Structure 1
Amino acid sequence: MDDDQLLRYSRHIMLKELGYPGQLRLLESRALIVGLGGLGSPAALYLAAAGVGHLVLADFDTVDASNLQRQIVHGTADIGRHKVDSAIDAVRGLNPEVGVRGLREHLDAEALMTEISAVDVVLDCTDNFVIRDTLNRLCVETGTPLVSGAAIRFDGQVSVFDPRRADSPCYRCLYPEGTDEDDTCSNRGILAPVVGIIGTIQATEALKLLAGMGELLCGRVLILDALRMEWRSIRLRRDPDCPICGGQNGAV
């Protein structure tokens, strides 16, 4: 790191759990963020601010006025632009040292496999359950850690699925029967800061994973009830009959 980087990341370097070696790991890391809405907005900004070396941002949608209530990576002037382009501008404005690349089109499984194989962590920030299932399956196949977040109305949840660990469940273990496609923010509403809270926790878990520090939310689901401002943590075990990860042995 040069002098400018030492200054920029000085508050990280002070942390004994992270320090200089951990910051170097972040600078050398690659992360894929799928979805640049309410969850992906804070996740992208915090990973960029923290110095994750290369970000791949994926979203095929454009910015709509209704997004601005919660999707803080976009501004009023971005209405009508691709969310990827708006997010790239915000990331570069925050930290021009971070390499960033955008994926603006629908990606089939083969294209997603290529992208996932090239990164160290995937952040699922979508509200599309078909995409969620696809990301989960491909992360299991490639052995890539997946940080999953979801939020609706006043509720949110976060978990980490790490197929490198023999004891790690996957997203399908949490939702074996799938989820209602109509159960989205567009149909049921969302309190703006809730997605910010959950997306920020996703960024925190991704940074911990990339830097190799702390205890991850692997095998646990953290659940927020923002109306009561209560948190719960529930254990999640790998389902031996899961069609996605049940036959996986994990990696050391």
Structure 2
Amino acid sequence: MQAIIESQKKCTRCNQYFTLTSEFWYKNKLSKDSFAWVCKECSKIYVKVNSDILKKKSKERRERKKDKLNAYSRGYNLEHKKELSKLNKIYLQSPAKYKTYAHKISFADRINQEKNGSLLAYCTYCNKPFHPTNTQCKNRVAALHSEIGSENRLYCSTECKLSCPVYKKIKHPNRYKKASSRETNPILRQLVFERDKWICQKCGSTGIGVTLHCHHILPATQNPMNANDPDVCMCVCKSCHKDIHKQNGCGYNDLKCYRENGKRANG
């Protein structure tokens, strides 16, 4: 009985005995046994009940020691500059956490939470699910808050980023450059791709590695009123899109009949 009592400690708040392990006690260097005088459960209850008071005291303490803390921080950063730089690079290249960025980008981007807590996003250009890095999410947040002047969204690869018509577009209308591509409306593009199930309507190609374009069956320049109508657009791969525009007259008449009849080419 004596041995059991010696290996245990009495909480000064709830008056119960607990084993002297980190499971029941927080560490405290001022104590003889290196454990706090109050058990973990009582400590949690105290913090929960007095959270406002503790926050206020902590803020006042930081204000009193502001200069000292800043000096220490500067000295530490200078002393460990290389190590901190390496850690920062690793952090920026690592997958982003859902809790860190969900409340910042969920209103603008389609995202989900993985079982391990990482953030799962969908590529703006190809709709492929991927895990964005902290750098990508930071740039996206900056673009949403107009901290950078151009558009920056979430892309699964550099190829998708460079192929996307909205990437690096200037946000202010009076500074827009005249678009050389017909793919100027990302919402229209998304609607067409979803309708055609992300499959090229000429050759039937789809999946990873296939770059898809939104092709206007009726020339957008000749029919500006219908340029944003999904019914006059179709999903084609990059190579088929090039072949279409190599034809005399771009083959718009053939493609128009092709769409109206509800057919799909096989090759």
What's the TM-score bracket when you normalise by the shorter of the two chains? under 0.3
Q: Which has the larger radius of gyration?
A: 2
Higher strand residue share = 1
Higher helix residue share = 2
